[in-house]
Amino acid sequence: MAKVYNYTVLIEQDEDGIYVAKVPDIPGCYTQGKTVEQVMERIKEAIEVCLEAEKVTYQPLKFVGIQQILGFQLIHQSGSHTRYKHADGRLTVVPVHGNEDLGKGLLSEILKQIKLDREEYDKLRRKV
């Protein structure tokens, strides 16, 4: 019989109307959506990728971007969510939903999780 876990999911709407969902009990587990229904489907996938990443031994995958500059390794991907880990233990999930940009609320959550302020992020973006 499969083990069932229950997680609290917090949903907020950012200043642009994008819904941001996060799971406080799983560091770095969040996503976004245009509707509550969409963000709920996406957070289920984000939870799965976070939990799957914890139970697998990984070979870091190659990728390019700000995460690489900061020393994060892509450790797992499932569907449209990618899980990154830093050698110091920081974890984050980055959703990749086609050509959809990250909303301001989700970007803020990711930056908090990886301990990067917005000013430094903007500097790094200009380098990539």
CA distance 16 to 12: 11
Q: What is the pTM of this model?
A: 0.61
The distance from CA 123 to its chain's CA centroid, rounded to whole angstroms, is 21
Binned average pLDDT, 10 residues per bin, the chain of 128 residues: 81 94 90 95 91 61 63 86 90 82 84 88 78
End-to-end, the C-alpha distance of the chain in Å comes to: 47
Of 53, 40, 45, 28, which is closest to residue 96 (Cα–Cα)?
45
Q: Which amino acid would we find at residue 3?
A: K
Q: What's the confidence (pLDDT) of residue 43?
A: 94
Yes or no: say if 46 and 30 are a contact pair by the CB < 8 Å rule.
yes
